[in-house]
Amino acid sequence: MTRHARQALPDIPYHIVNRGNNHQKIFFDGDDYYFFFNAIKSAKEQYPCKIYSFAFMTNHIHLLIEPVESGHNLASFIKQVSQRHGQYINKRYERTGTLWEGRFKSSPISTDAYLLACCRYIEMNPARAGLTDRPEDYKYSSYRSKIGIRNCNVLDSDPLYESFGSTSTERQQKYRQWFQESVEIEEWDHIRYAIKRNWPYGNDGFKKKLEDTMGYTFEIKKAGRKPENKY
């Protein structure tokens, strides 16, 4: 399979996955997560990006992030956050060597029902990994903020989340309701398929736009059924 040069387009959300080297831990206690949040806040100021969803696991991270104005902001943002966190972990725990696996994975996401599906995939990750019984109990994901349990100063509201209602309370209630609806297994399979190959997850028009802009073809298998957007 041909490996394409890393390229990102502005004002398009990307599902990002970055893992610890050899699946090693990148977070060891609450202070490590706190440092990582601060690193993200600082990077957003230097390299403007919108963060629509996240889940920070013990040995990897998920982000749904949209570079603003320049596609270069995406790679610069991830590089700065990863470097700062790596230096912090090495110093705090008196370790040496690479903390992260290497090139992060990235999958462009279309801003329709596919964006909502990707948010749910990310925010369900802690429960699927057995880190919590209920997604709302996990401290280090965006789900708690979206349903009104806590505020998160690095999170932005995506257009699909905004469409759930005209007030914060209405959006929180409807998002929780939608989040708890049953999910077809194919939905998560296609998201995993896309992120593994750095390919887009979205409708045919979105895929064609990316192919025309970037100059190569994403040979993505047809999704079973488009995720339903009820709101």
Residue 2 banded pLDDT, cuts 50, 70, 90: very low
Evaluate whether residue 231 is within a structural domain: no
Structural domain includes residue 57: yes
Q: Let me know if residue 219 belongs to a domain.
A: no
Rounded to an integer, what distance in angstroms lies between the CA atom of residue 17 and that of residue 83? 15
5 belongs to a structural domain: no
User: What are the helix (H) ranges across the chain?
Assistant: 30-46, 72-92, 113-123, 125-128, 143-146, 159-162, 168-179, 185-197, 204-214
- Cα–Cα distance measured from residue 41 to residue 49, given in angstroms and rounded to the nearest whole number: 10
Residue 221 in domain: no
Domain limits for position 113: 14-202
- Domain assignment present for residue 1? The answer is no
- CATH code of residue 104: 3.30.70.1290
Phi-psi region at 22: left, alpha or beta (left = phi > 0; alpha = psi -120 to 50): left
Structural domains of the chain, count: 1
This prediction has a pTM of 0.91
Position 220 in a domain: no
Share of the chain above pLDDT 70, in %: 92
The reported pLDDT for the residue numbered 183 is 85
pLDDT (average), residues 191-202: 94
> Is position 6 within any domain?
no
Q: Which of 71, 63, 54 lies closest to 105 in space, CA to CA?
A: 63
Tokens of 17: 């996955």
Average pLDDT over residues 194-221: 86
Asked if residue 230 has pLDDT above 90, the reply is no
| Residue 196, SS3 per DSSP | helix
Tell me: the pLDDT tens digits for 147-190? 999 999 999 999 999 999 999 999 999 999 999 998 888 899 99
pLDDT digits (tens, 9 = 90+) for 25-73: 999 999 999 999 999 999 999 999 999 999 999 999 999 999 999 999 9
Q: Is the pLDDT of residue 220 over 60?
A: no
Express as a percent the part of the chain with pLDDT over 90.
84
